[in-house]
Amino acid sequence: MKLTSLKRAVDITPCSSARKGWSGPDVIIEAQFDDSDSEDRHGNTSGLVDGVKKLSISTPDRGKEDSSTPVMKDENTPIPQDTRGLSEKSLQKSAKVVYILEKKHSRAATGILKLLADKNSDLFKKYALFSPSDHRVPRIYVPLKDCPQDFMTRPKDFANTLFICRIIDWKEDCNFALGQLAKSLGQAGEIEPETEGILTEYGVDFSDFSSEVLECLPQSLPWTIPPDEVGKRRDLRKDCIFTIDPSTARDLDDALACRRLTDGTFEVGVHIADVSYFVPEGSSLDKVAAERATSVYLVQKVVPMLPRLLCEELCSLNPMTDKLTFSVIWKLTPEGKILEEWFGRTIIRSCTKLSYDHAQSMIENPTEKIPEEELPPISPEHSVEEVHQAVLNLHSIAKQLRRQRFVDGALRLDQLKLAFTLDHETGLPQGCHIYEYRDSNKLVEEFMLLANMAVAHKIFRTFPEQALLRRHPPPQTKMLSDLVEFCDQMGLPMDVSSAGALNKSLTKTFGDDKYSLARKEVLTNMYSRPMQMALYFCSGMLQDQEQFRHYALNVPLYTHFTSPIRRFADVIVHRLLAAGLGYSEQPDVEPDTLQKQADHCNDASHGFQTCAGAQHRPLLRSSSKGEWPPGVRSHGDGCPEPSFRRAGAALWGAEAHLLQCTGPAILQLPEGGEEARAHSCLGA
């Protein structure tokens, strides 16, 4: 939003620019803006709240007022001067919050306690000062009666004690908030107290599941598939089906299969855990899963969305056990062209649990027999050679799918990720390294993307007003144009006219020497900054189907289907697909209700990513005993920076200060995740 002479009250929810009748923004702001930063470029914005008129805003010409639009006047706010003669760069975005509709922040913060500096003040006798670790949170006055008994007499004893404090009030005319101590966590800098503080601060529910929820689970164990359920499903238990996941994964969402047909084509199957079978809609289990919305993967632990009986046993596609699945099966040419497509509920029996290392070894040694002792157990019905050949066939097709995606204009911004090694006894990090993304990862990624796109088209055709989809808006215009101008000044012309053009610029601008690769890494990091996050949405809430598009993937429709154990959005998609295939009744849900759940999933997803990123500082310091590990240096503010990013910045001279401002994006690799592996920095 840029300054013009027009003020309007608008909502700033992610989907606000084109919702039909949506009345749930997070914050109403009074702002001045033009069309250049409008997400959909159509300017159709609506906000509906008590005391604020519903505005239908059409985009005016730059510098001109739209006389047909009501103007929200505030007597206390001076009308800004006419800015029509100012250049775009001289205009400062500004807005004023006038109404808060929903408080999404937990109002909790972690930090330490201090005595007030002025010992002679009246406040000194009543309050202590809570200093949050997150500098975006205000400092907080805490009543002394809430503090430990000997805090006043021995404050230094608590100098390194981490507390949780909740804000209960913040007067408009006061710099400090008023709060209440909730809990003492332990020593600052230690992993477990820091982790608990992060989870609390970001509103992650890590409590035990209630007895009411656990009663929804099968009570008779060991559980077996009922015979009548077997008759309702396509039986694939004799097929060569296997999982490929991180070696430490315990919640196995997806399995793959590939067999060559007599005509030279391939039958390829993506088989996803049928979580919706175990989570009845409207049950206590369903409600708590919907509220948690996602599993939270930390380095040393997982906060699951579902009870562990489901996510690690009954739903997880563990080898050599019968499992309920939802499958997409294609008939594909060797080039990856889809000839036939089938969706349905199935039963599988995975023959083995491969890690990425196992699959990579098979890819790198296509003609060599992999010794059985180097592989996990394989069911006697299938041989090592059969599994090896299936992996090679999948790899061959995946390469073609990937090549075609980028020909069709997809974008990938590969950024470095940190992986941590854990102590086998304590389970705590003892070191870290740069995670290597290899062909085995790409193999799984391609088929997960293919399944997600196929299901998106299927549910949208069947339920055009009630499909839960995932869109990725284009990058922020102003940030992107500033970056392009900066690159032009550095002699690096970049084409950002489309996702594919940007990808081509990034991949073809540089050579293969180490300095060129360093510059590319810096540039890739910079171009991730203008990118917006991908969002779940209900198809019935957007008028323009152009807004359905996924910018990074450059596809018209996309959704999440392949990780229902750890994402509630996928459970909703499974239910929609089941209804579309006639397995269940038609969904009885209004689009605005589904949109509210989509918004909650968006919030939970964002919270998980922020939470996982916030954990890196204490982990890095712990794993390196106060020093950054090899290949990683301090960024000055406690954020690690891979050393060769520094090399790229130094080569650019002026780029160094910009990198210091933006900082690198170091992402945790989720245990057992799947298309967190895919286009992770863009939120695919």
- Torsion angle in degrees (nearest 10) through CA of 84, 86, 90, 93: -10
Q: How confident is the model at residue 191 (pLDDT cuts 50, 70, 90)?
A: confident
The single-letter code of the amino acid at 29 is I
- Quote the tokens at residue 143: 């009543």
Q: What is the pLDDT of residue 84?
A: 59
Q: Looking at per-residue confidence, does 584 or 134 come out higher?
A: 584
452 closest CA partner among 549, 354, 562, 364: 562
Per-residue pLDDT tens over the stretch 311-331 = 999 999 999 999 999 999 999
Q: Which residue has the tokens 């890494």?
A: 521
Question: What pLDDT is recorded for position 82?
Answer: 61
Report the alpha-carbon angle 640-643-645, nearest 5.
90
Mean pLDDT of 58-77: 39
Q: What residues form DSSP beta bridges with 128? A: 142
User: Residue 17 — very low, low, confident or very high, per pLDDT cuts 50/70/90?
Assistant: very low
Q: Let me know the angle formed at the C-alpha of 209 by 207 and 212, rounded to the nearest 5 degrees.
A: 140
| Count of CB atoms situated within 10 Å of the CB of 289 | 25
Given this model, what pLDDT does residue 423 score?
78
pLDDT at 76 over 60: no
What strand order describes the sheet that includes 234-235?
A: 234-235, 338-349, 322-332, 266-273, 254-260, 241-245, 352-355
pLDDT surpassing 70 at residue 75: no
pLDDT tens across 249-307, in order?
999 999 999 999 999 999 999 999 999 999 999 999 999 999 999 999 988 889 999 99
pLDDT (0 to 100) of residue 44: 40
pLDDT at 616: 72
Task: Please calculate the CA angle 218-219-223 and round it to the nearest 5 degrees.
Answer: 60
Closest CA to 297 of 244, 256, 356, 248: 248
pLDDT tens readout for residues 358-405: 999 999 999 999 998 999 999 999 999 999 999 999 999 999 999 999
* Predicted local distance difference test score (pLDDT) of residue 365: 95
- Per-residue pLDDT of 660-682, as tens digits, reads 333 333 333 333 333 433 344 45
Amino acid residing at 635: H
Tell me what pLDDT residue 211 has: 96
Instruction: Specify the pLDDT at position 410.
Output: 97
Backbone angles phi, psi at 376, to 5 degrees: -70, 165
Compute the Cα dihedral for 84, 87, 90, 91 and give only its sign. positive
Cα 576 to chain centroid distance, Å, stands at 22
Encoded tokens for 525: 């990091």
Task: Check residue 314 and give its pLDDT.
Answer: 97
pLDDT at 661: 31
Measured CA to CA, the distance from residue 138 to residue 665 in angstroms comes to 25
Q: What's the CA angle centered on 11, arms 6 and 12, to 5 degrees?
A: 105
The H-assigned helical ranges of 231-314 are 284-292, 308
Q: Which helix (H) or strand (E) holds 354?
A: strand 352-355
- Look at 76-80, 197-201, 554-558 and tell me which has the smallest mean pLDDT: 76-80
Please state, in angstroms and rounded to a whole number, the distance separating the CA atoms of residues 324 and 314.
Answer: 9
Helix, strand, coil shares of the chain, percent, nearest 5, are 35, 20, 45
Higher-confidence position of 52 and 165: 165
pLDDT at 166 (0 to 100): 95
**How many other C-beta atoms can be found within 10 angstroms of the C-beta atom of residue 505?**
20
Question: Which pLDDT score, from 0 to 100, does residue 224 have?
Answer: 95
**H/E stretch holding 451:** helix 439-462
The per-residue pLDDT for range 444-482, each reduced to its tens digit, is 999 999 999 999 999 999 999 999 999 999 999 999 999
Beta-carbon contacts of 168 under 8 Å, excluding residues fewer than 6 positions away, are: 107, 178, 179, 180
Q: Rounded to 5 degrees, what are φ and ψ at 143?
A: -55, 135
Confidence (pLDDT) at 65: 38
pLDDT band (50, 70, 90) for residue 421:
confident
Measured distance CA(319)–CA(272) in Å, rounded: 14
- Taken in order of first residue, the domains within the chain and their CATH numbers are 108-188 (2.40.50.700), 211-474+532-622 (no CATH)
Q: Please, are residues 550 and 534 in contact by the beta-carbon 8 Å criterion?
A: yes
Mean pLDDT of 563-581: 98
pLDDT at 676: 38
Tokens of 558: 């996309």
Q: Is 529 left (phi over 0), alpha (psi -120 to 50) or beta?
A: alpha
Structural contact between residues 55 and 20, judged by C-beta atoms closer than 8 angstroms: no
Compare 339 and 414 and report the one with higher pLDDT: 339
- Tell me the per-residue pLDDT of 597-655, one tens digit each, with 9 for 90 and over: 999 999 999 888 888 777 776 666 665 544 444 444 433 333 334 333 333 333 333 33
Per residue in 84-100, pLDDT tens?
566 666 677 788 888 88
SS3 100: strand
Identify whether the C-beta of residue 236 lies closer than 8 Å to the C-beta of residue 269. yes
* pLDDT of residue 37 exceeding 50: no
Whole-angstrom Cα distance, residue 565 to residue 202?
A: 21
- What tens digit of pLDDT does each residue of 585-603 get? 988 899 999 999 999 999 9
Residue 109 has a pLDDT of: 92
Q: What is the pLDDT of residue 99?
A: 84
Burial of 109 (0-12, 13-18, 19+ CB in 10 A): buried
Element (H, E) at 478: helix 477-489
Q: Provide the pLDDT for residue 28.
A: 63
**Strand, helix or coil for residue 109:** strand
pLDDT given for residue 85 in this prediction: 60
Report the candidate in 326, 557, 554, 549 with the shortest Cα–Cα distance to residue 463.
Answer: 557
Name the 3-class secondary structure at 640. strand
Rounded Cα distance between 622 and 103, Å, is 34
Q: Could you write out the DSSP letters of every residue in 514-570?
A: HHHHHHHHHHHHHHHTTPPPPEEEEGGGBS-GGGG-BTTTTBS-----S-TTTBHHH
The model's pLDDT over 502-544, given as tens digits with 9 standing for 90+, comes to 999 988 866 778 888 888 888 999 999 999 999 999 999 999 9
521 φ/ψ sector (left φ>0, alpha ψ -120 to 50, else beta): alpha
Structural contact between residues 413 and 531, judged by C-beta atoms closer than 8 angstroms? yes
| Cβ contact 423:431 at 8 Å | no
Q: Alpha-carbon distance 569 to 538, whole Å?
A: 11
What's the confidence (pLDDT) of residue 652? 33
> What is the pLDDT at residue 30?
61
Looking at every residue in the chain, the average pLDDT score rounds to 81
